[in-house]
Amino acid sequence: MKIAFFDSGVGGLNVLYDALKLLPNEQYIYYADSINAPYGTKSNEEIKKLVFEAVDFLAHENIKALVVACNTATSVTVKALREKYSFPIIGMEPAIKPALKNNNNKKTLVCATEKTLKEEKLKALIQNLNGENKVVELSLQELVVYAENFEFNEPHILQYLKKCFVNIKWKEFDSLVLGCTHFYYFTKQLRGILPRHIRILDGNFGTVKHLKNSIIETDTNQKTKIEFFISGEKAASSHFEKYFDFIKKNQ
């Protein structure tokens, strides 16, 4: 049986990359709804329709677990998905808890899509961690489009980031949380413009650990196989492998 990864586009490849290291004997399906990306600017109704269409498709592919490797889709749909399907469904959660741990009474900047920042799921997480006065939220929505276009080092991206951060008083902060899987691709650029004391955290590895604990692992050594789909159509691996190469080079 296969493990399915779903994302609005290529962001979830970061999570799959970690899964390939932690669970090397599994077979995978990666479903990118790239034709309909980005999700962060869509209504809840649009997102639910798209996600359920994708997961209905994946449910017929003999899967033993699903990773919703998209913070926006997780925020809007994960509860309803778990009510409908019997296989384990693992969603993304911004790494706010580790960010607030040992934070020296400093603040955490949570960067996500516009939709994720508006959803009750994130607000509830912050409230449960007593982080109302310790967490500041910021949209970096445009990074999703840059990632989908394989744009990472262009000057306009640094200009965009600097503009977004212009009002952030970094002395008050000690960490930045990447609340969108697409944002991981820009870690190097972020590291270049953020003060050295700012930690950059993401929820990727925690998600994969949760996946590992939720399944019965394949106990035979076999060559890993990944099937790729774009919005329901079989896709060439070459489109995705260049992102794996980028991740490997920039880790």
Residue from 70, 76, 99, 110 carrying the catalytic annotation: 70
Decide if 164 is catalytic: no
> Catalytic site residue 111?
no
Instruction: Provide φ and ψ at 144, rounded to 5°.
Output: -60, -45
Out of 10, 65, 140, 180, the active site residue is 180
Q: Taking the CA of residue 222 as centre, how many other CA atoms within 13 Å lie in the half-sphere pointing to its CB?
A: 13
Report H helices in 60-169. 71-84, 96-100, 114-118, 120-128, 142-148, 155-164
CB 41 within 8 A of CB 90: no
Longest dimension (CA), the chain: 53
Phi, psi angles (nearest 5°) of residue 44: -60, -40
- For residues 227 and 26, the answer to whether their CB atoms sit within 8 Å is no
What distance in Å separates the CA atoms of residue 197 and residue 211, rounded to the nearest whole number?
31
Q: Which two tokens stand for residue 140?
A: 């970096």
**Separation CA 7–CA 68 (nearest Å):** 6
User: How far apart are the C-alpha atoms of 116 and 112, rounded to whole Å?
Assistant: 6
Q: For residues 152 and 106, give the distance between their C-alpha atoms in angstroms, rounded to a whole number.
A: 30
Q: Which residues are catalytic?
A: 70, 180
